[in-house]
Amino acid sequence: MLSFPLRKLAKSFEVDTIKGVFPYRFPNGENFTYVGTKPSYDFYNSKDISLEEYKLLNPNDWDLKLETLRYLESDVRSLYEVIMKFAESVYELEKLNITDSLTIASLAFNAFKANYLKGNTYLSKIRSDLHNEIRSAYYGGRVEVYKPHGMLNPMPTGNGVLTGEKDLNKLFGIVKANIVCPDDLYCPILPYRTKKGGLICPTGSWTDWYFSEELKMAVSYGYTVEVVKAVVFDKNDGLFDDYVNKYYNIKSHETGPKRATAKSMLVSLYGRMGLRPTFDVTRLVTTDVAEGIMKNYDVTDSYILNEDKKLEILRYSTIPSEDKAKVNNNLIIRLEL
């Protein structure tokens, strides 16, 4: 949930137990019972301990087994203290229990849903074909060189509607467009995903999906944009303002656990919106249930576990297959297993 090295976490959360140092390259299959002078500095990670700090270590009576146990104990204690301080900070800020979330992104999303969505706001469910087109405009990628205020801009919300409007300035939403980038543009801004999955910002011409406001900015830099089609949304001002401003202010003015917590929460929410809605699951099911799954879902692997008891193991996508639905001409039912 906290994706930083333990040494850095311990420092950020100002815990009592700091991660120890250990000569990771020293142990091997033949020296587990080693007792003697301390290992050479070359066996240590120079990022963990400087040469001057190394010289202060006790040079004699160095016991590998004892030092290993000390090191592991300091790791466990340090991690425990970090988790406790993080949990206390989250509860103080959001009245949420961190054990109800599996990742920092899900924790940030749960906090947003619980405490920042206004009125009777709900999260729309978009049909999969339209969802896939919208997802095509979600690139991620090069963000480190831009000011971190994107979430304070108006956001597309509500139920998307396909439109034939060709005037980019009248659109707010996701747009499929023919793009031409000037060859002499010093720093192209529109990303493009290659066939191999790489992300580049090229010159030249291509067709792809983008957020309308990105395209409007691109035009101001000399791009030519021809709208092919678009999905328009309601414009929502201030959707993330309260969340972003709260955690930005904490990060800017607090220290210790609160600042460390705010930093993680601040950078984790928006990326959660790009989470893939489909993933493979593996289930032990009866043959009858397996047949239903195979009719409606894309099965990537199957194995008959017991023919007599009619048990099978299936691995399949959690999203029903639209192609199979058309072939079968039947209603897709989500199986509760």
Arithmetic mean of pLDDT over the chain: 87
* Range with the poorest average pLDDT among 90-104, 151-165, 167-181, 210-224: 151-165
pLDDT for 126 beyond 90? no
pLDDT for 322 beyond 70? no
* Alpha-carbon distance values, 66 to 32, 70, 73, 122, 335 (Å): 10, 6, 11, 56, 53
DSSP assigned state of 169 = G
Q: 0.85 exceeded by the pTM?
A: no
* Alpha-carbon distance values, 74 to 60, 95, 249 (Å): 21, 30, 33
pLDDT of residue 299: 85
Residue-wise pLDDT for 129-177, tens only, equals 788 788 888 887 666 555 567 788 898 888 888 999 999 999 999 999 9
Q: 32: closest CA among 57, 68, 59, 61? A: 68
Q: 10 Å Cβ neighbour count for 284? A: 14
pLDDT of residue 128: 65
Q: What is the DSSP secondary-structure string of 6-51?
A: HHHHHHHTT-SS------TTS--TT-TT-EESPPPGGGS-TTT--H
Residue-wise pLDDT for 3-29, tens only, equals 889 999 999 999 999 898 999 999 998
> And the tokens for 121?
């706001």
Helix (H) or strand (E) holding 262: helix 256-272
**Distance between CA atoms of 140 and 154, rounded to whole angstroms?**
18
pLDDT for 78 beyond 50? yes
Write the single-letter amino acid at 107.
L
- In contact, 293 and 318? CB cutoff 8 Å: no
Summarize the confidence of residues 221-241 as an average pLDDT.
Answer: 94
Residue-wise pLDDT for 283-303, tens only, equals 898 988 888 888 888 888 888
pLDDT of residue 163: 92
